[in-house]
Amino acid sequence: MPPATTRSKTEPRLSRPEQVARKIKDAVVERGLRPGDRLPSEAEMMAEFAMSKGTIREAMRILEAQGLVKSRTGPGGGVFVHEVGTERARALLSNYFWFRDLTIADVYQMRRAMEPELAAALAGHLEEPVLAELEAIAARYAAPAATIEEERDQHVASLDFHATLARQSDNPLLGFVIGFTVSLLTEITLQRQLYEPPNEQLRATGHDYHCRLLAALRAGDGGAARAIMKAHMENAWSLMGNQEALALGRFLPD
């Protein structure tokens, strides 16, 4: 590790809590600590780093905000190494895209590339309970919606179909990225109310693709699953593109 004096001028020197957080993190890595392992108590860290309680606590907050540790009160309590959860990782990453307004096209460019790969990999590898769960989800948008609220729920359910598929991936990277992409799309859809006006064609073709995909997954036909998912993505992309254009039109009437 380079000495602290070699810092460049562009990175402002770290505050003391940041220094402590960094050192704790390095120590965890170096000593190979695993989730559940206990870190030194506040009192011990105050002595170890010769810093006040407040400073140590701020350092722990930094690590906790990143999902790396979790603290408990009481005897046997303390600060413990923690595995970053999927939900937390999603939330942290979605902050990155907050000021980088993504378009539907951006999201679908990703989906078009990734989801067919996932479908192919999953074919023949899903247990019956999962297949049943997917069928239950698909059943929720088997028929046209009667109200706007139902329309929105159907839209979310059809995205949940893909999120459920993503959770089945034994590739953590692929699973996370697809799950994140789907959650991004869900946020965008709900925030801009892209389920309005109702798009019967989007629902009908989506449901049909999902059913055919399930059949291919159950049959273990990876090639077919990939092809169906690919066609599904292309189709959804063009239909969702229309929805986005309509939504934009709501604010740019002419």
Give the DSSP letter string of 86-123: HHHHHHHHHHHTTTS---HHHHHHHHHHHHHHHHHHHT
> How many distinct helices (H) and strands (E) make up the chain?
10, 2
Residues 114-153 that bind its own copies (CB under 8 A): 114, 116-117, 121
Q: Extract the tokens encoding 39.
A: 């870190």
Convert residues 1-20 into a mask of x (bound to its own copies by CB under 8 A) and - (unbound).
Answer: ----------------x---
Whichever of 154 and 189 has its CB closer to its own copies, that residue is 189
* Residues 25 and 68 sit within 8 Å (Cβ to Cβ): yes
Residue 16 interacts with, from DNA, its own copies, none (CB under 5-8 Å by kind): DNA
- Site residues, DNA (CB under 7 A): 12, 15-17, 41-43, 50-55, 57-58, 60, 71-79
Residue 171 interacts with, from DNA, its own copies, none (CB under 5-8 Å by kind): its own copies
Q: Under the criterion CB under 8 A, does residue 238 sit at the interface with its own copies?
A: no
Convert residues 18-37 into a mask of x (bound to its own copies by CB under 8 A) and - (unbound).
Answer: ---x------------xx--
**17-46 burial code (b ≥16 CB/10 A, e <16):** bebbbeebbeebeeeeeeeeeebbebeebb
**Binding-site member from 99, 251, 252, 253 for its own copies (CB under 8 A):** 99
Report d(CA 82, CA 33) in Å as an integer: 10
Count of CA atoms in the C-beta half-sphere (13 A) of 144: 5
Q: Extract the tokens encoding 145.
A: 């919606």
Whichever of 138 and 159 has its CB closer to its own copies, that residue is 159
Interface residue list for its own copies (CB under 8 A): 17, 21, 34-35, 54, 57-58, 61-68, 83-84, 86, 88-89, 92-93, 95-100, 102, 105-107, 109-110, 112-114, 116-117, 121, 171-174, 176-177, 181, 184
